[in-house]
Structures are given as structure tokens and as C-alpha cells.
Amino acid sequence: MRQHYVVGDTRVNDPRTLVFRGEGNWVEPRPVRCPVGHVLANRQVTAGWVPCKAPGRTGHRTHQCDCGEVVYTPDTDEYCHCEKSRPVSIAIE
Ligand SMILES: [Zn+2]
Ligand SMILES: [Zn+2]
């Protein structure tokens, strides 16, 4: 399933780009759905971070749906297998 990202109600194309919302307020895009299709705005979502060893990447932002499925941004791939690491919970927003 192709993932979409939003800031507020606005669709964004690059999930790694912070969006300026006025006066010192930068907002990180968030995924719209979890991997099984739940709309995250309607669920309990835990934001986190997984450090990544792949070249050119420091880590993945994670959004964990209350169903247990995790969205990784950017996507994990066959080189890093970061989906096997446990995300560190952090506070964002
Ligand atoms: Zn990785
Ligand atoms: Zn879910």
C-alpha cells in the first residue's frame, strides 16, 4: 500500500521535510494510515525512532498504531532490516 503523509489536513510529498506553520512552529509530516490500513488520526499512535546503520541514513521515524503495526519513515529495506529493531519512544508535536 502506498503511504501518504499529511501535516494537519494538507497532503505533503516529502515526509522528511518539516512544514512551517508560522512563528517558530515547524511540524513533522505524519503518515495517514498504519500498514494494515487503520486511519491513524482515529487511533492511539506512539511516535518513536529507530537508529539505522544504512549509508546515508541516520534512522527511521516510527509511528506505531495501537494495533501494534509500525510505519517507518523512510521505509526500511532489505539492507537494514530496521523493522526488526524496537522503536525508542519519543515525544514529538
Ligand atoms: Zn534502516
Ligand atoms: Zn493499525
Q: Any residues with CB less than 8 A from the CB of 9 and at least 6 apart, and which?
A: none
The pTM assigned to this predicted structure is 0.84
- The domain spans of the chain are 5-89
In tens, the pLDDT along 14-44 reads 888 888 888 888 888 999 999 999 999 999 9
Query: What spacing in Å lies between the alpha carbon of 59 and ligand 1's midpoint?
Result: 6
In tens, the pLDDT along 53-91 reads 999 899 999 999 999 999 999 999 988 999 988 888 766
DSSP 40-91: GGGS--EEEEEE--STT--EEEEEE-TTS-EEEESPP-TTT-GGGSPPEE--
Query: What spacing in Å lies between the alpha carbon of 47 and ligand 2's midpoint?
Result: 13
Q: CA nearest 31: which of 4, 1, 60, 62?
A: 4
Query: What spacing in Å lies between the alpha carbon of 48 and ligand 1's midpoint?
Result: 14
CB 76 within 8 Å of CB 85: no
Residue 2: pLDDT band (50, 70, 90) is: confident
